[in-house]
Structure 1
Amino acid sequence: MIPGLGAFSLEGKTALVTGSSQGIGRTLVEGLAAAGASVVVHGRDAAKAARAAAEVAEATGVQTRSVTFDVTDPAAVDAGIAALEAESGPLDVLVNNAGIQRRAPIGEFSDADWDDLLATNLSSAFYLARRVSRGMVERGSGKIIQIGSVQSQLARPGIAPYSATKGAIVMLTKGLCADLAPHGIQANAIAPGYFATELTQALVRDEQFSSWVRGRTPAGRWGDTQDLVGALVFLASAASDFVNGQTLFVDGGMTAVV
C-alpha cells in the first residue's frame, strides 16, 4: 500500500527541541505541534521557556511543556531527560537545535570562545543523543534530528571554529546512523542557510551583507524560519523511516551553486 499524507502525522508522538524558547527553535516546536506532536520547549531561562510553551499551546491546542537544564553538562542532561521522561513518558523525537556563534579572526580567537562553541554546538548534541537514544533502542524506534548549517560545507572569514562544529555535526549524524539504524532509529540533520531571526537582525539590517546573501542565494532572499518546518516534519515522521544519516540543506540553493 502506498502511504498517504498520514505518514507525516506526529499524533501520539512526544518531541523535545533544545534551545527552543526563541528563534529557529521556537518555530520548530510550533511546526511539530501543528503536525500533532506533544512538544517540549527547552531553554536556559525557565520563565522564558515556560512563556514560549504556553504561547505554543494556545496557538496550536497541543499539549506543551517546558524544561530547563544545561545542555553542555552531561550530568544535567541525564537528570533533565530522566525527569522529563518520568513526567511525560518516552521521547519519540529529539531535535538538537541549541547552538551559539562566535566571530573573530583565527589568530585572535580565544580559548574560551572555542570551548563554548564545542560545548554548545557539538558536545550537547552528543550528550542528548546518547541519553535519549537509550530509551529509543529499548523501544525499537525514534527520530534524532540535528540542526546543522551551510557552514558545515562553506566557510567564511572569522567563523572557522563554528564551521568546525557544524562539520562535526554532519559526521556525528552519520555515526548515529551507523550505531542506531539497526535498532529502528533514524538520525538525520537539517542544514539551514541564512535565516532571518532575532539573533541575525543586525546582519539582516546590514544592507551590504543582506545584498550579498540575496545575491549568493539562488532563491534571492533570506530564509524564513517557516521554511524549515516541512523538512523537520518529514524527518520527524514515519515518512522518513528509510532516510538515515543524511543532511538536508534548506538554503535556497546556496550550496548547489558557485
Structure 2
Amino acid sequence: MSKTALITGSTSGIGRATAEILATRGMHVIVSGRDATRGEAVVAGIRAAGGQSDFVRADLRDAASATGLATDALRLGGGAVDVLVNSAGIFPFGPTADTTEDGFDTVYALNVKAPYFLVAALAPGMAERGAGSIVNVTTMVAEFGAAGMGLYGSTKAALVLLTKSWAAEFGPAGVRVNAVSPGPTRTEGTAAMGEALDQLAAAGPAGRPGTAHEVAEAIAFLASDAASFVHGAVLPADGGRIAV
C-alpha cells in the first residue's frame, strides 16, 4: 500500500517539485495551496505521469484552516497521512519600522502557526502507527542576522526550534522530524529578486542559485526510509552558504 504525503505550498516552486518527486517514488501526493487552478494543474501533471495525486485548497491563515486541511488529507489518505512537508511560506523583506501588525501576523500565521497545528493534527496519528516523517522547510537566514530579513528569518528560526522539539516529542514513537534549509533558490516566488538573487548566491561555494528540484531532492531524502536514522536535523541545501 502506497504512503500518503501532504505537501503544503505545493502549487509552485519547491513544494511543487517535492510533490512531483514523491509521486514518482510511489507516494499518493496531496497537493495544497491557495490557487485551485495551479493546484489542479500540478495534480493533472502528476496523474499524466502515472502518479497518484489530489488537490485540497487551503489558505492556512489560522489554526482552523490548518486543522481543516489535515482532516481533508486524512480522508483522501484513507485515514492516514504518512509524510507531512511544511513547505508553504511567505518571505517579505524590508525594514523593521515598515512592518505593520497585520503584516507581522500574516507572516507568523503561515510560517509558524500553520505548521504547528498541522503537526498537532497529524503527528499523533503517525505516532499511533509507529511511523511517519515530517519535513519543515526553513531558510539559511534563520541562522544568521541579515538586514531587512528579521521578520521572515525569525519565523523560520522558530520552525528550526520546533523541528528539534517535535523530534524529541514524537521521535520515540517512530516519527522522524527534520528540516531542509534552502539558500537562494530560483523559483516563481524569487523571480522578482532579479540580479539580487544571483548576488546573494555568489557568496556561496556553488556560486549560483539552486533550483527547486535540487532543494526538493533534499526534502525527499529526509521524507524517505533512506533517512531512517535521521532525527531533528537541519539539512542545508544552500550551495554551501553555511560554510562561508
Interval of TM-score (by shorter of Structure 1 and Structure 2): over 0.9
- 1:155 to 1:83, Cα distance in 2 relative to 1, 3 A: same
**Aligned residue number for residue 102 of structure 1:** 92
Determine the C-alpha separation between the residues in 1 that align with 2:72 and 2:113: 21
1:27 is aligned to 2:17: yes
Compute the displacement of 1:232 (Å).
Answer: 1.6
- Counterpart residue identity of residue 55, structure 2: S
**Aligned residue number for residue 8 of structure 1:** none
Say if 1:35 and 1:233, in contact at 8 Å, map to a contact too: no
1:232 is aligned to 2:222: no
Q: Deviations over 1:145-171 (max 9, x none)?
A: 000000111232112011100111110
Compute the displacement of 1:211 (Å).
Answer: 4.7
Q: Secondary structure at the match of 2:220?
A: helix
1:249 to 233, 236, 242: 236
- Counterpart residue identity of residue 238, structure 2: D
Q: Secondary structure at the match of 2:148?
A: coil
Q: Secondary structure at the match of 1:199?
A: coil
Say if 1:71 and 1:127, in contact at 8 Å, map to a contact too: no
Say if 2:139 and 2:181, in contact at 8 Å, map to a contact too: yes
Determine the C-alpha separation between the residues in 1 that align with 2:51 and 2:28: 6
1:148 is aligned to 2:138: yes
Give percent identity, aligned residues only: 37
Determine the C-alpha separation between the residues in 2 that align with 1:150 and 1:113: 22
Greater Cα offset, 45-54 or 167-176: 45-54
- Counterpart residue identity of residue 166, structure 1: K
1:136 is aligned to 2:126: yes
Determine the C-alpha separation between the residues in 1 that align with 2:38 and 2:186: 21
- 1:107 to 1:137, Cα distance in 2 relative to 1, 3 A: same
- 1:41 to 1:234, Cα distance in 2 relative to 1, 3 A: same
**Aligned residue number for residue 166 of structure 1:** 156
Q: Deviations over 1:11-53 (max 9, x none)?
A: 7111010010111111110111122211111011223212221
Say if 2:28 and 2:51, in contact at 8 Å, map to a contact too: yes
Greater Cα offset, 223-232 or 181-190: 223-232
Compute the TM-score of the two structures, normalised by the length of structure 1: 0.90
1:77 is aligned to 2:95: no
Determine the C-alpha separation between the residues in 1 that align with 2:97 and 2:73: 42
**Aligned residue number for residue 3 of structure 1:** none
Determine the C-alpha separation between the residues in 1 that align with 2:65 and 2:188: 27
Determine the C-alpha separation between the residues in 2 that align with 1:49 and 1:72: 18
Q: Secondary structure at the match of 2:190?
A: helix
2:52 to 63, 68, 80: 63
- 1:103 to 1:62, Cα distance in 2 relative to 1, 3 A: same
Bigger Rg over Cα: 1
**Aligned residue number for residue 179 of structure 2:** 189
Greater Cα offset, 229-238 or 165-174: 229-238
Determine the C-alpha separation between the residues in 2 that align with 1:216 and 1:126: 33
Say if 1:102 and 1:113, in contact at 8 Å, map to a contact too: no
Stretches of 4+ aligned residues off by more than 4 angstroms: none
- Counterpart residue identity of residue 75, structure 2: A
Q: Secondary structure at the match of 2:179?
A: strand
- The number of residues matched between the two structures is 243
- Counterpart residue identity of residue 65, structure 2: A
Determine the C-alpha separation between the residues in 2 that align with 1:216 and 1:179: 36
Say if 2:183 and 2:201, in contact at 8 Å, map to a contact too: no
Determine the C-alpha separation between the residues in 1 that align with 2:145 and 2:25: 34
- 1:150 to 1:165, Cα distance in 2 relative to 1, 3 A: same
Determine the C-alpha separation between the residues in 2 that align with 1:116 and 1:170: 19
Q: Secondary structure at the match of 1:198?
A: coil
Compute the displacement of 1:177 (Å).
Answer: 0.6
Compute the displacement of 1:106 (Å).
Answer: 1.2
- Counterpart residue identity of residue 233, structure 2: Q
